[in-house]
Homo-oligomer: A and B are copies of this chain.
Amino acid sequence: MATISIGLFSSLIGSMNSDFAVKLAETAVNKGHSVNLWFSGNAVTLARKGQKSFKDYSYLAERLKALQENGVAIVACEACAAARGIHKDDVIEGIAVHSMDWYVARAAKSDRVLHIGGE
């Protein structure tokens, strides 16, 4: 089985990029692949604790927890998070915070990289 790194740069709520990335990660894990998930830019908001679930928008916090329990490394960019007022204590349990070198290192060693660099 292979390793895939997914980098997500688009923001939470309403951006279907987030839904796509999470669903792709779930599918890859179910097929036995190893997955890294990196949030940078506005996507760091996905890592924040206390998101309220609305029926209008996809609510991904629980699914991220499940991914993490299934062995997916989920990491948010430290600087991007701090710039948005999201510090270590604000992050969902099980999601880590690292600087960008973590992502590029993991990506370099992955079999596949899908970098979703939108706004």
Contact = CB atoms under 8 A, between A and B. Distances in A.
B42 A84 contact: no
A20 interface: no
Nearest to A90: B85
Interface string A74-108: 00000110111111001000000000000000000
A66 B51 CA distance: 29
Contact of A14 (B41, B45, B57, B87): B41
B13 A51 contact: no
Nearest to A78: B52
Contacts of A52: 82-83, 85
A49 interface: yes
Contact of A45 (B15, B45, B82, B87): B45
Given A13-B83, A45-B45, 9 more contacts: A11-B11, A11-B42, A12-B83, A12-B84, A42-B45, A45-B85, A52-B83, A54-B82, A57-B83
